[in-house]
Amino acid sequence: MLEHGGRLRRAALQYGIPLSDWLDLSTGINPHAWPVPPVPPEAWQRLPEEHDGLEAAAAQYYGTDELLPVAGSQAAIQALPGLIPGERVTVLAPTYAEHAHAWRDRRVRACSADTIDAAVANTDVLLLVQPNNPSGVQFPHAQLLDWHARLVARGGWLIVDEAFIDAAPTESLASAAGRPNLVVLRSLGKFFGLAGARVGCVLAPAGLRQRLAEQLGPWTISGPARHVARHAFADTTWQTTMRERLAHEGVRLADLLRSNGLGAPSGPALFQWLRHRDAATLHDRLARQGILVRRFDEPASLRFGLPPDEAGWTRLARALANL
Protein backbone atom coordinates (compact mmCIF):
# COMPACT_ATOMS: atom_id res chain seq x y z
CA MET A 1 0.00 0.00 0.00
CA LEU A 2 1.29 3.43 -0.94
CA GLU A 3 1.57 6.32 1.52
CA HIS A 4 -1.25 8.90 1.48
CA GLY A 5 -2.33 11.94 3.41
CA GLY A 6 -5.02 11.74 6.04
CA ARG A 7 -3.28 9.29 8.39
CA LEU A 8 -4.21 11.34 11.41
CA ARG A 9 -4.57 8.40 13.81
CA ARG A 10 -1.01 7.30 13.15
CA ALA A 11 0.28 10.83 13.78
CA ALA A 12 -1.69 11.03 17.01
CA LEU A 13 -0.02 7.86 18.27
CA GLN A 14 3.44 8.92 17.09
CA TYR A 15 3.36 12.35 18.71
CA GLY A 16 1.18 11.51 21.71
CA ILE A 17 -1.41 14.16 20.87
CA PRO A 18 -5.13 13.24 21.09
CA LEU A 19 -7.06 13.12 17.82
CA SER A 20 -9.32 15.96 18.90
CA ASP A 21 -6.36 18.30 19.36
CA TRP A 22 -5.05 18.12 15.77
CA LEU A 23 -5.42 20.54 12.88
CA ASP A 24 -5.35 18.18 9.89
CA LEU A 25 -4.17 19.92 6.71
CA SER A 26 -2.75 16.79 5.09
CA THR A 27 -5.38 15.79 2.54
CA GLY A 28 -6.33 18.72 0.28
CA ILE A 29 -10.01 17.89 0.82
CA ASN A 30 -12.41 20.84 1.13
CA PRO A 31 -12.85 21.39 4.90
CA HIS A 32 -16.21 23.09 4.23
CA ALA A 33 -18.05 19.98 3.10
CA TRP A 34 -21.37 20.02 1.31
CA PRO A 35 -24.05 19.67 4.05
CA VAL A 36 -25.32 16.12 3.78
CA PRO A 37 -29.10 15.83 4.34
CA PRO A 38 -30.74 12.89 6.12
CA VAL A 39 -30.54 9.71 4.06
CA PRO A 40 -33.91 7.97 3.53
CA PRO A 41 -34.15 4.49 5.06
CA GLU A 42 -34.77 2.82 1.69
CA ALA A 43 -31.30 3.92 0.53
CA TRP A 44 -29.92 1.60 3.20
CA GLN A 45 -32.49 -1.12 2.81
CA ARG A 46 -32.55 -1.70 -0.96
CA LEU A 47 -29.85 -2.65 -3.42
CA PRO A 48 -28.57 0.40 -5.34
CA GLU A 49 -30.33 0.92 -8.67
CA GLU A 50 -29.44 2.86 -11.79
CA HIS A 51 -31.90 5.46 -13.13
CA ASP A 52 -32.30 6.91 -9.62
CA GLY A 53 -31.26 10.32 -10.91
CA LEU A 54 -27.54 10.10 -10.15
CA GLU A 55 -26.43 9.74 -13.78
CA ALA A 56 -28.70 12.61 -14.87
CA ALA A 57 -27.45 14.89 -12.08
CA ALA A 58 -23.83 14.06 -12.89
CA ALA A 59 -24.44 14.70 -16.59
CA GLN A 60 -25.90 18.11 -15.79
CA TYR A 61 -22.97 18.94 -13.50
CA TYR A 62 -20.23 17.83 -15.91
CA GLY A 63 -21.99 18.97 -19.07
CA THR A 64 -21.88 15.53 -20.71
CA ASP A 65 -23.65 12.20 -20.44
CA GLU A 66 -20.57 10.31 -21.62
CA LEU A 67 -19.90 9.17 -18.05
CA LEU A 68 -19.90 6.21 -15.68
CA PRO A 69 -20.26 6.71 -11.91
CA VAL A 70 -17.75 4.60 -9.98
CA ALA A 71 -16.78 4.06 -6.35
CA GLY A 72 -14.28 6.91 -6.31
CA SER A 73 -11.77 7.66 -9.04
CA GLN A 74 -9.33 5.30 -7.31
CA ALA A 75 -11.43 2.35 -8.50
CA ALA A 76 -10.98 3.51 -12.09
CA ILE A 77 -7.27 4.20 -11.61
CA GLN A 78 -6.73 0.58 -10.62
CA ALA A 79 -8.97 -0.86 -13.35
CA LEU A 80 -7.89 1.15 -16.41
CA PRO A 81 -4.55 -0.64 -17.03
CA GLY A 82 -6.51 -3.83 -17.65
CA LEU A 83 -8.61 -2.12 -20.32
CA ILE A 84 -6.18 0.15 -22.18
CA PRO A 85 -3.35 -1.19 -24.37
CA GLY A 86 0.11 0.28 -24.67
CA GLU A 87 3.49 -0.59 -23.25
CA ARG A 88 4.99 2.90 -22.86
CA VAL A 89 3.31 5.03 -20.18
CA THR A 90 4.33 8.60 -19.38
CA VAL A 91 3.38 10.35 -16.14
CA LEU A 92 4.21 13.75 -14.72
CA ALA A 93 6.66 13.87 -11.81
CA PRO A 94 5.96 14.41 -9.03
CA THR A 95 2.30 13.38 -9.13
CA TYR A 96 -0.32 11.23 -7.39
CA ALA A 97 1.64 8.03 -6.86
CA GLU A 98 -1.28 5.63 -7.37
CA HIS A 99 -1.21 6.29 -11.12
CA ALA A 100 2.31 5.02 -11.76
CA HIS A 101 1.70 2.21 -9.27
CA ALA A 102 -1.35 1.01 -11.20
CA TRP A 103 0.69 0.81 -14.42
CA ARG A 104 3.77 -0.74 -12.81
CA ASP A 105 3.66 -3.78 -15.14
CA ARG A 106 4.28 -1.47 -18.13
CA ARG A 107 7.24 0.73 -19.01
CA VAL A 108 6.47 3.80 -16.92
CA ARG A 109 8.49 6.96 -17.44
CA ALA A 110 8.20 10.01 -15.20
CA CYS A 111 8.77 13.39 -16.84
CA SER A 112 8.94 16.97 -15.67
CA ALA A 113 6.30 19.39 -16.94
CA ASP A 114 8.62 20.97 -19.48
CA THR A 115 9.56 17.62 -21.07
CA ILE A 116 6.05 16.18 -21.51
CA ASP A 117 5.65 17.62 -25.01
CA ALA A 118 8.76 15.87 -26.30
CA ALA A 119 7.79 12.63 -24.52
CA VAL A 120 4.44 12.39 -26.34
CA ALA A 121 6.14 11.14 -29.50
CA ASN A 122 7.45 8.10 -27.62
CA THR A 123 4.53 7.11 -25.43
CA ASP A 124 1.39 5.02 -25.81
CA VAL A 125 -0.43 6.35 -22.74
CA LEU A 126 -0.01 9.86 -21.36
CA LEU A 127 -1.36 10.15 -17.83
CA LEU A 128 -1.73 13.58 -16.23
CA VAL A 129 -3.30 14.99 -13.06
CA GLN A 130 -4.84 18.39 -13.83
CA PRO A 131 -4.21 20.47 -11.75
CA ASN A 132 -1.35 18.28 -10.65
CA ASN A 133 -1.20 16.85 -7.15
CA PRO A 134 0.94 17.96 -5.38
CA SER A 135 2.68 20.59 -7.54
CA GLY A 136 -0.41 22.38 -8.88
CA VAL A 137 1.00 22.38 -12.44
CA GLN A 138 -1.76 22.83 -15.00
CA PHE A 139 -1.62 22.62 -18.79
CA PRO A 140 -3.73 24.77 -21.16
CA HIS A 141 -6.70 23.18 -22.95
CA ALA A 142 -5.12 23.65 -26.34
CA GLN A 143 -1.97 21.85 -25.22
CA LEU A 144 -3.91 18.88 -23.84
CA LEU A 145 -6.02 18.56 -26.98
CA ASP A 146 -2.91 18.76 -29.15
CA TRP A 147 -1.30 15.94 -27.18
CA HIS A 148 -4.51 13.93 -27.46
CA ALA A 149 -4.62 14.40 -31.23
CA ARG A 150 -1.02 13.31 -31.60
CA LEU A 151 -1.59 10.26 -29.41
CA VAL A 152 -4.85 9.08 -30.94
CA ALA A 153 -3.43 9.40 -34.47
CA ARG A 154 -1.30 6.34 -33.71
CA GLY A 155 -3.60 4.54 -31.29
CA GLY A 156 -2.38 6.17 -28.09
CA TRP A 157 -4.43 7.32 -25.09
CA LEU A 158 -4.68 10.44 -22.94
CA ILE A 159 -5.87 9.98 -19.35
CA VAL A 160 -6.49 13.12 -17.29
CA ASP A 161 -7.28 12.95 -13.57
CA GLU A 162 -9.24 16.09 -12.66
CA ALA A 163 -9.81 15.33 -8.98
CA PHE A 164 -8.99 18.92 -7.94
CA ILE A 165 -10.46 20.86 -10.88
CA ASP A 166 -13.99 21.48 -9.58
CA ALA A 167 -13.07 24.80 -8.00
CA ALA A 168 -12.31 26.04 -11.55
CA PRO A 169 -14.54 23.86 -13.78
CA THR A 170 -14.01 25.88 -16.96
CA GLU A 171 -10.50 24.38 -17.06
CA SER A 172 -11.92 20.85 -17.35
CA LEU A 173 -11.73 18.60 -20.40
CA ALA A 174 -15.26 17.39 -19.70
CA SER A 175 -16.47 19.17 -22.84
CA ALA A 176 -14.29 16.79 -24.88
CA ALA A 177 -15.68 13.67 -23.20
CA GLY A 178 -16.52 10.87 -25.61
CA ARG A 179 -13.64 11.52 -27.98
CA PRO A 180 -11.73 8.38 -28.95
CA ASN A 181 -8.98 7.33 -26.55
CA LEU A 182 -9.63 10.12 -24.06
CA VAL A 183 -10.39 9.37 -20.39
CA VAL A 184 -11.21 12.06 -17.82
CA LEU A 185 -11.50 11.12 -14.15
CA ARG A 186 -13.59 13.21 -11.77
CA SER A 187 -14.14 12.92 -8.03
CA LEU A 188 -16.83 13.98 -5.58
CA GLY A 189 -14.39 13.77 -2.68
CA LYS A 190 -12.22 16.87 -2.97
CA PHE A 191 -14.39 19.88 -3.90
CA PHE A 192 -17.55 18.63 -2.18
CA GLY A 193 -15.55 17.43 0.84
CA LEU A 194 -17.20 14.00 0.66
CA ALA A 195 -14.20 11.70 0.39
CA GLY A 196 -15.88 9.08 2.57
CA ALA A 197 -18.75 8.67 0.11
CA ARG A 198 -16.35 7.11 -2.43
CA VAL A 199 -18.02 8.51 -5.55
CA GLY A 200 -16.36 9.52 -8.81
CA CYS A 201 -17.11 9.54 -12.52
CA VAL A 202 -15.23 8.28 -15.54
CA LEU A 203 -15.79 10.40 -18.65
CA ALA A 204 -14.82 8.24 -21.61
CA PRO A 205 -16.05 6.72 -24.91
CA ALA A 206 -18.99 4.33 -24.61
CA GLY A 207 -16.97 1.21 -25.39
CA LEU A 208 -14.48 1.79 -22.61
CA ARG A 209 -17.24 2.70 -20.14
CA GLN A 210 -19.04 -0.55 -20.92
CA ARG A 211 -15.90 -2.64 -20.41
CA LEU A 212 -15.11 -0.80 -17.20
CA ALA A 213 -18.64 -1.32 -15.87
CA GLU A 214 -18.39 -5.04 -16.60
CA GLN A 215 -15.04 -5.27 -14.84
CA LEU A 216 -16.18 -3.38 -11.74
CA GLY A 217 -19.42 -5.34 -11.48
CA PRO A 218 -22.83 -4.37 -10.07
CA TRP A 219 -23.56 -2.11 -7.10
CA THR A 220 -20.18 -0.39 -7.10
CA ILE A 221 -21.65 2.68 -5.33
CA SER A 222 -23.76 2.20 -2.21
CA GLY A 223 -27.35 3.41 -2.07
CA PRO A 224 -26.65 6.13 0.52
CA ALA A 225 -23.66 7.39 -1.47
CA ARG A 226 -25.74 7.56 -4.66
CA HIS A 227 -28.41 9.53 -2.82
CA VAL A 228 -25.91 12.02 -1.40
CA ALA A 229 -24.01 12.45 -4.68
CA ARG A 230 -27.18 13.08 -6.66
CA HIS A 231 -28.20 15.94 -4.40
CA ALA A 232 -24.69 17.38 -4.19
CA PHE A 233 -24.37 17.51 -7.98
CA ALA A 234 -27.69 19.36 -8.18
CA ASP A 235 -26.92 22.03 -5.57
CA THR A 236 -25.70 24.79 -7.88
CA THR A 237 -26.14 27.54 -5.28
CA TRP A 238 -23.73 25.85 -2.87
CA GLN A 239 -21.28 25.16 -5.69
CA THR A 240 -21.14 28.80 -6.79
CA THR A 241 -20.73 30.11 -3.25
CA MET A 242 -18.07 27.52 -2.44
CA ARG A 243 -15.99 28.28 -5.54
CA GLU A 244 -15.82 31.93 -4.51
CA ARG A 245 -14.86 31.00 -0.96
CA LEU A 246 -12.17 28.52 -2.00
CA ALA A 247 -10.63 30.97 -4.47
CA HIS A 248 -10.24 33.49 -1.65
CA GLU A 249 -8.88 30.94 0.83
CA GLY A 250 -6.39 29.49 -1.64
CA VAL A 251 -4.85 32.95 -2.11
CA ARG A 252 -4.92 33.50 1.65
CA LEU A 253 -3.01 30.28 2.29
CA ALA A 254 -0.38 31.07 -0.33
CA ASP A 255 0.09 34.56 1.13
CA LEU A 256 0.42 33.14 4.66
CA LEU A 257 3.16 30.72 3.65
CA ARG A 258 4.98 33.35 1.63
CA SER A 259 4.81 35.97 4.40
CA ASN A 260 6.51 33.56 6.81
CA GLY A 261 9.54 33.31 4.59
CA LEU A 262 8.88 29.78 3.36
CA GLY A 263 9.27 30.55 -0.33
CA ALA A 264 6.81 30.70 -3.20
CA PRO A 265 4.08 28.03 -2.94
CA SER A 266 1.97 26.79 -5.85
CA GLY A 267 -1.32 24.99 -6.16
CA PRO A 268 -5.04 25.22 -6.90
CA ALA A 269 -7.63 26.60 -4.49
CA LEU A 270 -7.72 23.52 -2.26
CA PHE A 271 -4.04 23.22 -1.38
CA GLN A 272 -0.62 24.82 -1.65
CA TRP A 273 2.62 22.97 -2.38
CA LEU A 274 5.89 24.21 -0.96
CA ARG A 275 9.31 22.95 -1.99
CA HIS A 276 11.76 23.23 0.90
CA ARG A 277 15.08 21.54 1.55
CA ASP A 278 14.18 21.15 5.25
CA ALA A 279 10.69 19.80 4.57
CA ALA A 280 11.13 16.85 6.95
CA THR A 281 12.15 19.17 9.80
CA LEU A 282 9.29 21.57 9.13
CA HIS A 283 6.84 18.67 9.01
CA ASP A 284 8.05 17.39 12.37
CA ARG A 285 7.99 20.81 14.03
CA LEU A 286 4.44 21.45 12.85
CA ALA A 287 3.36 17.99 13.99
CA ARG A 288 4.75 18.67 17.46
CA GLN A 289 2.31 21.58 17.56
CA GLY A 290 -0.55 19.30 16.52
CA ILE A 291 -0.66 20.40 12.86
CA LEU A 292 -0.46 17.67 10.23
CA VAL A 293 0.61 18.50 6.69
CA ARG A 294 1.62 16.14 3.88
CA ARG A 295 5.34 15.56 3.41
CA PHE A 296 7.01 14.45 0.19
CA ASP A 297 10.59 13.24 0.00
CA GLU A 298 11.20 13.57 -3.75
CA PRO A 299 11.43 16.45 -4.17
CA ALA A 300 11.59 17.58 -0.54
CA SER A 301 8.31 19.45 -0.11
CA LEU A 302 5.14 19.95 1.92
CA ARG A 303 1.50 20.20 0.88
CA PHE A 304 -0.81 22.37 2.99
CA GLY A 305 -4.59 22.00 2.86
CA LEU A 306 -7.02 24.72 3.94
CA PRO A 307 -7.85 25.30 7.62
CA PRO A 308 -11.53 24.68 8.41
CA ASP A 309 -12.25 27.89 10.35
CA GLU A 310 -10.76 31.11 11.72
CA ALA A 311 -9.43 29.29 14.78
CA GLY A 312 -7.55 26.99 12.42
CA TRP A 313 -6.14 29.91 10.43
CA THR A 314 -4.95 31.58 13.63
CA ARG A 315 -3.37 28.36 14.87
CA LEU A 316 -1.55 27.79 11.58
CA ALA A 317 -0.29 31.38 11.49
CA ARG A 318 1.11 31.07 15.02
CA ALA A 319 2.75 27.73 14.25
CA LEU A 320 4.38 29.08 11.10
CA ALA A 321 5.64 32.11 13.01
CA ASN A 322 7.19 29.76 15.58
CA LEU A 323 9.17 28.01 12.84
**pLDDT class of 50 with cuts at 50, 70, 90:** confident
- pLDDT tens-place string over residues 61-89: 999 999 999 999 999 999 999 999 999 99
For the chain, the distance separating the N- and C-terminal CA atoms, rounded to the nearest angstrom, is 32
The Cβ-side half-sphere exposure at 236, using a 13 Å CA radius, reads: 5
pTM score: 0.94
User: What's the CA gap between 25 and 127, in Å, rounded?
Assistant: 27
- pLDDT score at 175: 94
- pLDDT score at 49: 87
Domains of the chain: residue spans and CATH: 8-34+237-322 (3.90.1150.10), 46-234 (3.40.640.10)
Mean pLDDT calculated for residue range 7-21: 92
- pLDDT score at 3: 61
User: What's the CA gap between 280 and 144, in Å, rounded?
Assistant: 34
- pLDDT tens-place string over residues 202-237: 999 999 999 999 999 999 999 999 999 999 999 999
- pLDDT tens-place string over residues 269-295: 999 999 999 999 999 999 999 999 999
- pLDDT score at 323: 86
- pLDDT score at 51: 84
- pLDDT score at 7: 82
